Amino acid sequence: MQITHLRQVIRRLCARLLPLSLLVMPLAAVHAAAQEAQPAWQAQVRKYSEASDWPSALRVLEPEIARYPADLDLKAWRARVLAWSGNLARAEQEYLAILKVSSGDPDNWAGLANVYARQGRNSDALAALDRAVQLDPKRADLHAARARALHGAGDRGQAQSEFRKAWSLDPRSSEAHAGLNSLRGEPKHELRFGGEADLFSYTSANEGQGASVASRWTPMWATSLGSSLYQRGGLHAAKWIGSVTAHLPRFGAITAGGAVGHDNTVIPRSEFFFDLDRGWAARDAHLFRGLELDYGQHWYWYQAARILALHGAAIIYFPREWSFSLAATGARSAFSGAGVEWRSSGTARLGFPLHSLGAAQLSGNVFFAVGAENFAQSEQIGAFASQTYGGGLRLRFSSRQDITFVSSYQRRTEGRTDTSLGLSYGIRF
């Protein structure tokens, strides 16, 4: 009797579930068909964009746009690729043309705001983000983008409010969390300490250790204090150095400073230097982001020599954190009981990003130098020529900590060599 009743219950359940299964099956089929119908061009554009192959991404988009000239999604993708590639003027035109036809997509307003921000047009970026947030006030990423623009415009209070709003909408948002952390207060001081070693092929090694504190007290004034210990040929020496920098909006940065030391005949007894630094930011970052020029003079007083080093450098900043610099130094040596002699050296350096993962960033550089590169070491003031090959790595754990490694190999006349290694750690607070 119980078995018969159980069979009746199963039949009734099957009868009720059958119509539901008939409804679910077509829906699943529609979903699968929709996935299969995803445009192939979009996958290709994503692939090329991830590889930073912007010309190939545009070559995929152009024929599709010619085939479907009214498809705003295609045109929006072209605007994104143009912006990613650094062609900001064309990206702006593309976004404006899209918004003229249809102004209801917040992603297009956010894309236009990003272009404005990269051009340094903060007020226009904020206006575009205001419109994006009005269209979809529940999106955490739009509030975070608006907070970044407010922060860039100097409105820290409103930026903090927007980051909090983004975090309340999406507590898992790493962007909102990082933004709130950045507004706790910009670090004013950097403590750095490390060591270096020179391994010579013709004599014993030189070693050195040092520590310094650089402080930015106000937007205009900054200071730097440091000390170094040296071990050279069995002799020990120490140096204390300090400088003051004034950041003047119209003239750039002006630095003056000096050093005194317990020289023990191997380092300068005293030093004095000044430096002039001027930078310009590019409005359109398609080719380069900015240019920086630097000129300085440094006097060294040794026990038996006086050195004047004149230094000039030009640094070009490219998109995506690349940079290239050229520097030249002329040194005037005056030895006791001998004449005056000028010597020169030059350096070319290329800096580049390597990898980033969240807040962690790894960057590197390579350089080549000719001449006598370090006129502040007594054993290097003399008649020799050299070629130096080197490079470095910098691992930035967060916005407040990094570790830097440098290495070089120098070939001198008479078959002599110098292998240099250096490691330092910096923390900002």
pLDDT recorded at residue 120: 86
Contacts of 142 (CB under 8 A, 6+ apart): 106, 110, 129, 132, 133, 136
pLDDT recorded at residue 13: 40
Taking residues 169-198, what's their average pLDDT? 86
- What H or E segment, with its residue span, contains residue 179? helix 174-182
pLDDT recorded at residue 160: 85
Contacts of 336 (CB under 8 A, 6+ apart): 304, 305
Q: Which two tokens stand for residue 424?
A: 């330092």
pLDDT recorded at residue 42: 87
CA-closest candidate to residue 270, choices 376, 382, 379: 376
- Condensed to tens digits (0 to 9), the pLDDT of residues 27-55 reads 343 344 434 445 788 888 988 888 899 99
Q: What percent of the chain has pLDDT over 90?
A: 59
The residue whose two tokens read 């077509």 is 26
- Condensed to tens digits (0 to 9), the pLDDT of residues 2-33 reads 445 445 544 554 444 434 343 334 434 334 44
The residue whose two tokens read 């623009």 is 149
pLDDT recorded at residue 282: 80
CA-closest candidate to residue 84, choices 72, 94, 96, 97: 94
More confident residue, 264 or 38: 264
The residue whose two tokens read 């403590």 is 191
Taking residues 252-269, what's their average pLDDT? 95
CA-closest candidate to residue 375, choices 349, 408, 341, 352: 341
The string of DSSP codes covering 111-176 is HHHHHHHHTT-HHHHHHHHHHHHHH-TT-HHHHHHHHHHHHHTT-HHHHHHHHHHHHHH-TT-HHH
Q: Which two tokens stand for residue 275?
A: 């430096």
Whole-angstrom Cα Rg for the chain: 31
CA-closest candidate to residue 193, choices 423, 400, 429: 423
Q: Which two tokens stand for residue 306?
A: 């006086």
Strand, coil or helix: what is 368? strand
Q: What are phi and psi of 45, to 5 degrees?
A: -60, -40
Q: 0.75 exceeded by the pTM?
A: no
pLDDT band at 159 (very low <50, low <70, confident <90, very high): confident
Q: Specify whether the CB–CB gap between 253 and 277 falls below 8 A.
A: yes
- Condensed to tens digits (0 to 9), the pLDDT of residues 330-358 reads 999 887 666 788 889 999 999 999 998 87
Question: Please, which residues bridge with residue 411 across strands?
Answer: 387, 417
Q: What percent of the chain has pLDDT over 70?
A: 86
Taking residues 105-109, what's their average pLDDT? 94
- Condensed to tens digits (0 to 9), the pLDDT of residues 215-242 reads 999 889 999 999 999 999 889 999 999 9
Average pLDDT, the chain: 86
pLDDT recorded at residue 371: 86
DSSP conformational letter for 89? H
pLDDT recorded at residue 312: 98
Question: Please, which residues bridge with residue 261 across strands?
Answer: 239
pLDDT recorded at residue 34: 38
Taking residues 114-129, what's their average pLDDT? 90
Distance CA 206, CA 134 (A): 64
Q: Specify whether the CB–CB gap between 203 and 179 falls below 8 A.
A: no
pLDDT recorded at residue 417: 94
pLDDT recorded at residue 375: 38
pLDDT band at 185 (very low <50, low <70, confident <90, very high): low
